[in-house]
Structures are given as C-alpha cells and as structure tokens.
Amino acid sequence: MNNKAAVMYGTRDVRVEEREVPEPGPKEVLVEIRAVGVCGSDVHYYEEGRIGSFIVEEPMILGHESMGTVVGLGGEATRHKEGDRVTLEPGIPDGTCRECRAGRYNLCPNVRFFATPPIDGAFANYVAIHEDFAFALPETLSDDAGALMEPLSVGIWANRKAGTKAGDHVLVTGAGPIGLVSLQVALAEGATQVTVTDVAPERLEMARKMGATRTMNVAEEPLEEAGIEADSLIECSGNPTALGDGIRSLRPAGTAVVVGMGPNEETSVPLAFVQTREIWVTGTFRYANTYPAAIELAATGKVDLDALVTSRFDLDHAADALQASRKDAGNVKPMVVPNAGA
C-alpha cells in the first residue's frame, strides 16, 4: 500500500509526497480515505500559516472533514470490520480531564484535532483513528455526505445552543457551509422562519434552495432596517457588524450563538440591548456528541449535504482545492477525493 498525502510545508506550499501507511494502535482502525471537505480553517492555514495561537511550524497534512473505508483493525478494535464505510470525528479528547468527565469533551484542553498543529489531517490515502471516533455510514449516503458530517455537526451544535424549537424564527448571518447547515438543521428542528443574510448573491441563492424563508443581501439592505424579531441568532460570518446587528434583531430573552470567528480577538456587542432585554450570548467550539444525530438527519433526508458540494479535486490538486472558494464565492464546498489506486 502506498500512502500519498498532500503536505503543507508553509504558506501556499503544499507538496504531494509518499508517507508511511499509519500503523493502527490497539483500539484504532486504519481507514482508506475516500472524500475530504475543504474547510475555511484549511484555507487559513494554507494562506497565513496560522489561526490565532495555532501555528504550522512543522510540515502538516490539512483536512478534517473526512470519510472512508475501514481496511485494517488494531488488535483490540471490535467496533468495525474491514469494508465498513465510516465518517471520522476528527477531534480525539483525552477522556479523563474535568471537561471530558462533564461531557463537554469539545472543550478538552488536550484534544488532538486533525489538521490543527501539530496533528496531521486527512488529505491522504490512509488515516488511523480510534474506533470510537469512526461512525458507520448507511449505504444510501454518498461519500461526500459522509465527509460533511463534520460541518453538519457544527450546525447541530449551534442549534442545540440556540435551543431551536418548533415555531421559532432563527436568524442565520452568513451563508457559507456553516450557515447553510445551520439553516437546514433549524428547519429540521421545526423552525418555521429562518432568515439568512450574506453579501454574496450566489450564497443567498443556495440558502433559498435549502429552504430559507427569507434571504437578505446586507450589502444592499441593512439588517437593522428589516424589523426582524428572531428567537435566536446563529452568527456564521465572523463579521463584527453581523454580530451586533444580529443581536439587535433578537426578541427579548432571545439567544445569540457566536459560531463565526472574526479577525479580532475582541469585538464590541450592544451591551445595553443585551442587558435590558436579558439576551443570552454564547459561543460554540466545535461540537460534542453530534455524529449520530448528523448521520440520522442526512440519512432521513432532513438535511441535504450533497447540495453543498460545488467542486472536486484529486490529491495532486489539493492546492487548487484550497484556493477554489477564494476564486469564486459560488464555490462553497470544494472536496478533495483521494484515490488509493491512483
């Protein structure tokens, strides 16, 4: 077996090379990767070499939205068998710290997360992962959909934090992949109005196709003038204006969920508005215990992940995949498709 991998050596420097096929540990499975989504964080590492305090200092393999086929088992791995199609939850917590024991394993300070320095990701033919973080996929789901359980998990977690329930009006700011899955999950949870904002018409068009009851191009029509009174805001743009205007569009006691990561460590929020209306403001960091729900939502057709996919590249063209959404705002979700036979 050859293990071809797209390895990032520095900013805008990704080289395709042969790596050792990983040896699965006792409780690990070896997975032949079939599809990997390109995430905005991969693009940030590729262009800037860092995200906040995470800095790529050694060559690292990008990609953390992945699925594949089990092709090997560690000596004590019993959960899967060879040939199973699985989606990979890319963050492995230590399982013993205070946060893990409280069930908040996404906040584990010792988590090892794919494609977050110094941990390698999945732009490769083979990856080894703890069997508990590989989840069986139904035959009916495509490889692309299997890989996109990861961003879908972000949307599920955001809606859990928002407390989305039947009849709600949810405001989603930003119609990138995260905003689009948050929209679909809100509808699946019974929200009857989902307003989606963006500044890119192509993305608002995708939001309408995915069921948004109202879309607004905030470059042309300011959110503040729309008179919205939403139950919750799911902020998925990272834009400070979207956060402030979004909070001011909440009804009293509404909830603001900050998913988007802005360029600055700090930003201002309309504090008097938050205070006098008892607005709840919370962040989200990745997700915990979402993969079974993600697979169910996709398998039952309540969420359409294939509709997000806009282009495909092989491993040799991983660098092009990393630039695709920059070149064309309509290219929402490029996929890398490693092929072990190639």
Ligand X SMILES: NC(=O)c1ccc[n+]([C@@H]2O[C@H](COP(=O)([O-])OP(=O)(O)OC[C@H]3O[C@@H](n4cnc5c(N)ncnc54)[C@H](O)[C@@H]3O)[C@@H](O)[C@H]2O)c1
Among 94, 229, 306, 316, binds Zn ion (CB under 5 A): 94
Instruction: Tell me: does residue 107 bind Zn ion (CB under 5 A).
Output: no
Backbone angles phi, psi at 46, to 5 degrees: -65, -40
Instruction: Tell me: does residue 177 bind ligand X (CB under 6 A).
Output: yes
In the bound state with ligand X, the residue whose beta carbon lies nearer, of 101 and 326, is 326
Site string for ligand X, 262-301 (x = CB under 6 A): ----------------------xxx---------------
Task: Please list every residue from 67 through 106 that binds ligand X, using CB under 6 A.
Answer: none
> Would strands 85-88 and 65-73 be described as parallel, antiparallel, or unpaired?
antiparallel
Of 108, 103, 113, 157, the residue nearest 290 (C-alpha): 157
Q: What is the amino acid identity at position 263?
A: P
**Least distance in Å: CB of 268 to Zn ion?**
33
Task: Please list every residue from 101 through 160 that binds ligand X, using CB under 6 A.
Answer: 154
Would you say 49 and 31 are in contact if contact means Cβ atoms under 8 Å apart?
no
Instruction: Tell me: does residue 174 bind ligand X (CB under 6 A).
Output: yes
Of 233, 235, 202, 197, the residue nearest 215 (C-alpha): 197
Q: In sequence order, what are the beta bridge partners of 334?
A: 311
d(CA 61, CA 68): 17
In the bound state with ligand X, the residue whose beta carbon lies nearer, of 70 and 170, is 170
d(CA 210, CA 200): 16
Task: Return the one option of Zn ion, ligand X, none that residue 97 interacts with (CB less than 5 to 8 A, by type).
Answer: Zn ion
Would you say 110 and 117 are in contact if contact means Cβ atoms under 8 Å apart?
no
Site string for ligand X, 8-47 (x = CB under 6 A): --------------------------------x-------
Instruction: Tell me: does residue 73 bind Zn ion (CB under 5 A).
Output: no
> What's the angle, vertex CA 103, arms to CA 98 and CA 108, rounded to 5?
50
Site string for ligand X, 204-243 (x = CB under 6 A): --------------x-----------------xxxx-xx-
The b-or-e profile of 111-125 (16+ CB within 10 A means b, else e) is bebbbbbebbbbbbb
Q: Which residues bind Zn ion (CB under 5 A)?
A: 93-94, 97, 100, 108
Q: Which residues bind ligand X (CB under 6 A)?
A: 40, 154, 173-179, 197-200, 203, 218, 236-239, 241-242, 259-261, 284-286
